Amino acid sequence: METPRHWRLRKQRYGLIGEVCPHCDVKIFPPRDVCPACGSEAKTPFAFSGKGEVYSFTTMQSGPTGFNENAPYTVALIQLEEGPMLTAQLTDLDPAEEVTIGLPVEMVTRKLRTDAGAEGIILYSYKFRPVFTA
């Protein structure tokens, strides 16, 4: 059964798709079909640029089961340039460079882990990496 929600979840693996409020133009992520600013129905898809900056962050010394190969890792609260905030893992960090509040970041789609089960499902997730400016 193909529902709009399934379609949206699949699209999110390849891009940052949220919604935009047709009434007050507020950008919404994750999609929730209701504008957090004015409370109106908001079902218009909106593709975010995937760019933002670090709002706050924390470094994890060990990951949940299946993620330990990536530990330690840094999880950040990222404010997208369109406004919404989301939590995501940071990647491609230079060990010599410290993560700072306000660090410019951009979204990348990464393989999260490969399920060892019979179907060999590969899970993808978005992460963010620092934007290098010359």
Binding site for Zn ion (CB under 5 A): 21, 23-24, 26, 35, 37-38
Inter-residue contact 18 to 84 (CB < 8 Å): yes
Nearer to Zn ion, 35 or 54 (CB): 35
CB of 35 to Zn ion, least distance (A): 3
At 57, the amino acid letter reads F
CB of 37 to Zn ion, least distance (A): 5
Nearer to Zn ion, 38 or 123 (CB): 38
- The Cα 80–Cα 27 span in angstroms is 10
- The Cα 93–Cα 127 span in angstroms is 11
CB of 32 to Zn ion, least distance (A): 12
Nearer to Zn ion, 36 or 66 (CB): 36
- The Cα 57–Cα 73 span in angstroms is 10
